[in-house]
Amino acid sequence: MKKILLPISLLVVIFLIVLFVLIPVKNKPQKEVDTPPATEPETPKSWAEQMQEKYPYFVTDYETRYQSYQQQHPELAEEDVITYVNIGLDQEFYTNTKPTSFLNSNQILVNKYHYVDQNYVPDNLVALPTTYAKSGISLVEEAKTALESLMAAAQAEGYRLHVTSAYRSYDYQQNLYDRYVAQDGKEAADTYSARAGSSEHQTGLAVDLDNTKLDYTLFEQTPEYTWMQDNASKYGFILRFPKGKESITGYQFEAWHYRYVGIDLAQKIKSSGLTFEEYYARYLDPVVLS
Protein backbone atom coordinates (compact mmCIF):
# COMPACT_ATOMS: atom_id res chain seq x y z
CA MET A 1 0.00 0.00 0.00
CA LYS A 2 1.39 3.33 -0.99
CA LYS A 3 1.90 5.77 1.86
CA ILE A 4 0.56 9.30 1.57
CA LEU A 5 3.04 11.85 2.77
CA LEU A 6 1.79 15.25 3.94
CA PRO A 7 3.89 18.32 3.59
CA ILE A 8 5.64 19.42 6.75
CA SER A 9 3.95 22.81 6.66
CA LEU A 10 0.48 21.19 6.69
CA LEU A 11 1.48 18.99 9.59
CA VAL A 12 2.52 22.06 11.55
CA VAL A 13 -0.84 23.72 10.93
CA ILE A 14 -2.76 20.62 12.02
CA PHE A 15 -0.64 20.38 15.16
CA LEU A 16 -1.32 23.97 16.13
CA ILE A 17 -5.10 23.53 15.60
CA VAL A 18 -5.21 20.46 17.81
CA LEU A 19 -3.12 22.25 20.44
CA PHE A 20 -5.45 25.26 20.48
CA VAL A 21 -8.63 23.16 20.78
CA LEU A 22 -7.51 20.58 23.31
CA ILE A 23 -5.32 22.63 25.63
CA PRO A 24 -7.12 25.47 27.51
CA VAL A 25 -5.63 28.86 27.15
CA LYS A 26 -4.18 30.02 30.40
CA ASN A 27 -4.92 33.44 31.77
CA LYS A 28 -7.82 33.93 29.39
CA PRO A 29 -9.39 37.29 30.34
CA GLN A 30 -12.77 36.92 32.06
CA LYS A 31 -15.81 38.64 30.65
CA GLU A 32 -16.48 41.80 32.56
CA VAL A 33 -19.77 41.86 34.51
CA ASP A 34 -21.46 45.19 35.13
CA THR A 35 -21.88 45.77 38.84
CA PRO A 36 -25.18 47.52 39.61
CA PRO A 37 -24.75 50.74 41.50
CA ALA A 38 -25.54 50.59 45.17
CA THR A 39 -29.13 51.69 45.92
CA GLU A 40 -30.12 53.58 49.01
CA PRO A 41 -32.84 51.96 51.14
CA GLU A 42 -36.32 53.46 50.63
CA THR A 43 -37.38 55.97 53.25
CA PRO A 44 -40.48 54.68 55.04
CA LYS A 45 -43.60 56.65 54.13
CA SER A 46 -44.97 58.96 56.77
CA TRP A 47 -48.37 58.38 58.35
CA ALA A 48 -49.79 61.28 56.35
CA GLU A 49 -48.47 59.85 53.07
CA GLN A 50 -49.98 56.47 53.86
CA MET A 51 -53.34 58.06 54.66
CA GLN A 52 -53.29 60.11 51.46
CA GLU A 53 -52.82 56.95 49.42
CA LYS A 54 -55.71 55.19 51.15
CA TYR A 55 -58.15 58.10 51.48
CA PRO A 56 -58.31 60.73 48.72
CA TYR A 57 -60.22 63.03 51.08
CA PHE A 58 -57.29 63.24 53.51
CA VAL A 59 -56.38 66.93 53.92
CA THR A 60 -52.72 67.47 54.75
CA ASP A 61 -53.41 70.68 56.66
CA TYR A 62 -55.62 68.72 59.07
CA GLU A 63 -52.97 66.14 60.00
CA THR A 64 -52.61 67.32 63.61
CA ARG A 65 -56.38 67.46 64.03
CA TYR A 66 -56.75 63.92 62.69
CA GLN A 67 -54.18 62.53 65.10
CA SER A 68 -55.66 64.36 68.05
CA TYR A 69 -59.19 63.19 67.23
CA GLN A 70 -57.98 59.61 66.77
CA GLN A 71 -56.42 59.70 70.23
CA GLN A 72 -59.70 60.95 71.69
CA HIS A 73 -61.72 58.33 69.79
CA PRO A 74 -59.60 55.17 69.41
CA GLU A 75 -62.76 53.18 68.65
CA LEU A 76 -63.23 54.97 65.31
CA ALA A 77 -61.95 53.65 62.00
CA GLU A 78 -59.39 55.76 60.15
CA GLU A 79 -61.83 56.75 57.43
CA ASP A 80 -64.35 57.95 60.02
CA VAL A 81 -61.74 59.98 61.88
CA ILE A 82 -60.79 61.73 58.63
CA THR A 83 -64.42 62.24 57.62
CA TYR A 84 -65.52 63.61 60.99
CA VAL A 85 -62.61 66.04 61.20
CA ASN A 86 -63.34 67.20 57.65
CA ILE A 87 -66.92 67.87 58.76
CA GLY A 88 -65.60 69.80 61.76
CA LEU A 89 -66.79 67.44 64.48
CA ASP A 90 -63.49 67.66 66.33
CA GLN A 91 -64.68 71.11 67.36
CA GLU A 92 -67.90 72.24 69.02
CA PHE A 93 -70.95 73.01 66.89
CA TYR A 94 -71.11 76.64 65.77
CA THR A 95 -67.34 77.06 66.25
CA ASN A 96 -64.78 77.33 63.47
CA THR A 97 -67.63 78.25 61.12
CA LYS A 98 -67.10 79.46 57.57
CA PRO A 99 -69.19 80.78 54.67
CA THR A 100 -70.66 77.95 52.65
CA SER A 101 -69.57 77.16 49.10
CA PHE A 102 -71.81 76.48 46.08
CA LEU A 103 -74.29 79.30 46.57
CA ASN A 104 -77.32 78.79 44.31
CA SER A 105 -76.23 75.22 43.67
CA ASN A 106 -77.78 71.88 44.55
CA GLN A 107 -74.51 70.99 46.30
CA ILE A 108 -74.75 73.80 48.85
CA LEU A 109 -74.15 72.70 52.44
CA VAL A 110 -75.59 74.77 55.27
CA ASN A 111 -75.21 73.42 58.78
CA LYS A 112 -73.58 74.19 62.12
CA TYR A 113 -70.19 74.77 60.46
CA HIS A 114 -71.22 76.35 57.12
CA TYR A 115 -73.43 79.39 56.99
CA VAL A 116 -75.06 81.89 54.65
CA ASP A 117 -75.24 85.55 55.51
CA GLN A 118 -78.25 87.60 56.51
CA ASN A 119 -78.83 88.93 53.02
CA TYR A 120 -78.66 85.66 51.14
CA VAL A 121 -81.76 84.84 49.11
CA PRO A 122 -81.48 81.96 46.62
CA ASP A 123 -82.10 82.62 42.94
CA ASN A 124 -85.27 81.48 41.19
CA LEU A 125 -87.54 81.26 44.23
CA VAL A 126 -91.11 80.49 43.19
CA ALA A 127 -94.27 80.16 45.23
CA LEU A 128 -95.80 76.74 45.82
CA PRO A 129 -99.50 76.39 45.05
CA THR A 130 -101.85 75.95 47.99
CA THR A 131 -103.10 72.71 46.43
CA TYR A 132 -100.19 70.95 48.13
CA ALA A 133 -98.55 73.55 50.39
CA LYS A 134 -99.33 76.08 53.05
CA SER A 135 -99.96 79.58 51.78
CA GLY A 136 -96.93 81.79 51.19
CA ILE A 137 -94.38 78.97 50.89
CA SER A 138 -91.62 79.19 48.25
CA LEU A 139 -88.97 76.88 46.84
CA VAL A 140 -86.20 77.14 44.25
CA GLU A 141 -87.81 76.45 40.89
CA GLU A 142 -85.81 73.32 40.04
CA ALA A 143 -86.65 71.81 43.42
CA LYS A 144 -90.31 72.77 42.98
CA THR A 145 -90.48 70.98 39.62
CA ALA A 146 -88.88 67.87 41.08
CA LEU A 147 -91.17 67.97 44.12
CA GLU A 148 -94.26 68.13 41.94
CA SER A 149 -93.08 65.08 39.98
CA LEU A 150 -92.49 63.26 43.25
CA MET A 151 -95.93 64.18 44.58
CA ALA A 152 -97.64 63.12 41.36
CA ALA A 153 -95.93 59.73 41.56
CA ALA A 154 -96.92 59.34 45.19
CA GLN A 155 -100.53 60.29 44.47
CA ALA A 156 -100.70 57.79 41.59
CA GLU A 157 -99.89 55.09 44.14
CA GLY A 158 -102.43 56.33 46.65
CA TYR A 159 -100.23 58.50 48.88
CA ARG A 160 -100.82 62.13 49.83
CA LEU A 161 -97.97 64.54 50.56
CA HIS A 162 -98.28 68.11 51.75
CA VAL A 163 -95.61 70.81 52.34
CA THR A 164 -95.68 72.50 55.73
CA SER A 165 -92.48 74.54 55.36
CA ALA A 166 -89.89 75.34 52.68
CA TYR A 167 -87.85 78.53 52.15
CA ARG A 168 -87.29 80.63 55.26
CA SER A 169 -85.52 83.96 55.36
CA TYR A 170 -82.74 84.72 57.84
CA ASP A 171 -85.06 86.92 59.90
CA TYR A 172 -87.83 84.31 59.91
CA GLN A 173 -85.41 81.68 61.17
CA GLN A 174 -84.06 84.04 63.82
CA ASN A 175 -87.54 84.64 65.22
CA LEU A 176 -88.36 80.93 65.10
CA TYR A 177 -85.16 79.94 66.87
CA ASP A 178 -85.62 82.61 69.54
CA ARG A 179 -89.12 81.32 70.21
CA TYR A 180 -87.84 77.78 70.67
CA VAL A 181 -85.07 78.97 73.00
CA ALA A 182 -87.61 80.83 75.12
CA GLN A 183 -89.79 77.72 75.16
CA ASP A 184 -87.23 74.94 75.77
CA GLY A 185 -83.88 76.58 76.46
CA LYS A 186 -80.92 77.01 74.14
CA GLU A 187 -79.38 73.57 74.61
CA ALA A 188 -82.61 71.78 73.72
CA ALA A 189 -83.48 74.18 70.91
CA ASP A 190 -80.13 73.53 69.24
CA THR A 191 -81.04 69.85 68.85
CA TYR A 192 -84.04 70.55 66.63
CA SER A 193 -83.79 74.12 65.34
CA ALA A 194 -81.04 75.89 63.41
CA ARG A 195 -79.68 79.27 64.34
CA ALA A 196 -80.24 82.00 61.77
CA GLY A 197 -77.83 81.65 58.84
CA SER A 198 -77.32 77.97 59.56
CA SER A 199 -80.72 76.72 58.42
CA GLU A 200 -81.08 74.62 55.29
CA HIS A 201 -84.43 76.25 54.74
CA GLN A 202 -82.66 79.48 53.77
CA THR A 203 -81.25 77.64 50.72
CA GLY A 204 -84.76 77.26 49.27
CA LEU A 205 -84.00 73.56 48.69
CA ALA A 206 -85.50 72.01 51.84
CA VAL A 207 -89.08 70.98 52.55
CA ASP A 208 -90.96 69.69 55.57
CA LEU A 209 -93.76 67.24 54.77
CA ASP A 210 -96.86 65.74 56.32
CA ASN A 211 -99.67 63.60 54.93
CA THR A 212 -102.49 66.05 55.84
CA LYS A 213 -103.83 63.58 58.43
CA LEU A 214 -101.17 63.57 61.16
CA ASP A 215 -98.94 66.34 62.46
CA TYR A 216 -95.65 66.56 60.58
CA THR A 217 -93.77 65.45 63.72
CA LEU A 218 -95.55 62.09 63.36
CA PHE A 219 -94.59 61.65 59.73
CA GLU A 220 -92.51 58.55 60.54
CA GLN A 221 -95.72 56.74 61.45
CA THR A 222 -97.33 57.29 58.06
CA PRO A 223 -97.24 55.12 54.92
CA GLU A 224 -96.07 58.25 53.09
CA TYR A 225 -92.84 58.14 55.08
CA THR A 226 -92.18 54.58 53.96
CA TRP A 227 -92.91 55.57 50.37
CA MET A 228 -90.47 58.48 50.65
CA GLN A 229 -87.70 56.19 51.89
CA ASP A 230 -88.11 54.07 48.80
CA ASN A 231 -88.65 56.81 46.23
CA ALA A 232 -87.36 60.23 47.31
CA SER A 233 -83.92 59.82 45.71
CA LYS A 234 -85.51 59.01 42.35
CA TYR A 235 -86.64 62.63 42.24
CA GLY A 236 -83.51 64.19 43.73
CA PHE A 237 -84.41 64.34 47.44
CA ILE A 238 -82.66 62.92 50.49
CA LEU A 239 -83.75 62.48 54.09
CA ARG A 240 -81.58 65.17 55.58
CA PHE A 241 -81.42 64.20 59.26
CA PRO A 242 -81.53 60.38 59.51
CA LYS A 243 -82.05 58.33 62.64
CA GLY A 244 -78.85 57.33 64.41
CA LYS A 245 -76.81 60.12 62.83
CA GLU A 246 -77.61 62.87 65.35
CA SER A 247 -74.00 63.28 66.47
CA ILE A 248 -72.99 63.92 62.85
CA THR A 249 -75.80 66.16 61.60
CA GLY A 250 -76.23 67.95 64.92
CA TYR A 251 -80.00 67.47 64.86
CA GLN A 252 -82.49 64.95 66.11
CA PHE A 253 -84.02 62.56 63.60
CA GLU A 254 -86.50 64.42 61.38
CA ALA A 255 -88.61 62.05 59.32
CA TRP A 256 -90.34 64.99 57.66
CA HIS A 257 -87.33 67.05 56.49
CA TYR A 258 -86.12 66.45 52.91
CA ARG A 259 -83.49 68.23 50.93
CA TYR A 260 -83.25 68.55 47.15
CA VAL A 261 -79.75 67.82 45.79
CA GLY A 262 -80.57 66.57 42.28
CA ILE A 263 -81.22 63.02 41.13
CA ASP A 264 -77.63 61.94 40.47
CA LEU A 265 -76.31 63.19 43.81
CA ALA A 266 -79.35 61.95 45.75
CA GLN A 267 -78.90 58.42 44.45
CA LYS A 268 -75.17 58.44 45.21
CA ILE A 269 -75.80 59.63 48.75
CA LYS A 270 -78.51 57.03 49.33
CA SER A 271 -76.31 54.23 47.95
CA SER A 272 -73.40 55.32 50.14
CA GLY A 273 -75.43 55.17 53.35
CA LEU A 274 -73.79 58.43 54.39
CA THR A 275 -75.34 61.63 55.63
CA PHE A 276 -75.00 64.71 53.46
CA GLU A 277 -72.30 65.96 55.86
CA GLU A 278 -70.24 62.80 55.43
CA TYR A 279 -70.65 62.63 51.68
CA TYR A 280 -69.78 66.30 51.30
CA ALA A 281 -66.70 65.92 53.51
CA ARG A 282 -65.38 63.11 51.30
CA TYR A 283 -66.39 64.04 47.78
CA LEU A 284 -67.71 67.59 47.43
CA ASP A 285 -65.84 69.94 49.77
CA PRO A 286 -63.59 72.31 47.78
CA VAL A 287 -60.95 71.91 50.48
CA VAL A 288 -60.80 68.19 49.72
CA LEU A 289 -60.86 68.69 45.96
CA SER A 290 -58.16 71.36 45.90
Catalytically active residues are: 254
Query: Running DSSP on this structure, what letter comes out for residue 13?
Result: H
| Nearest residue to 200 via CA among 285, 120, 284, 86 | 120
* Contact by Cβ (8 Å): 166, 128: yes
Distance, C-alpha 65 to centroid of its chain: 19
Q: Which residue, among 125, 123, 121, 120, has the nearest Cα to 139 in the 3D structure?
A: 125
CA distance 129 to 187: 36
CB < 8 Å & 24+ apart, contacts of 155-161: 157/227, 159/211, 159/223, 159/224, 159/227, 160/211, 160/212, 160/213, 160/224, 161/132, 161/209, 161/210, 161/211, 161/224, 161/228
Q: Look at strands 114-115 and 125-127 and give their pairing.
A: unpaired
Distance of CA 2 to the CA centre of its chain: 105
- Closest alpha carbon to 227 in 145, 132, 156, 139: 156
Amino acid occupying residue 225: Y
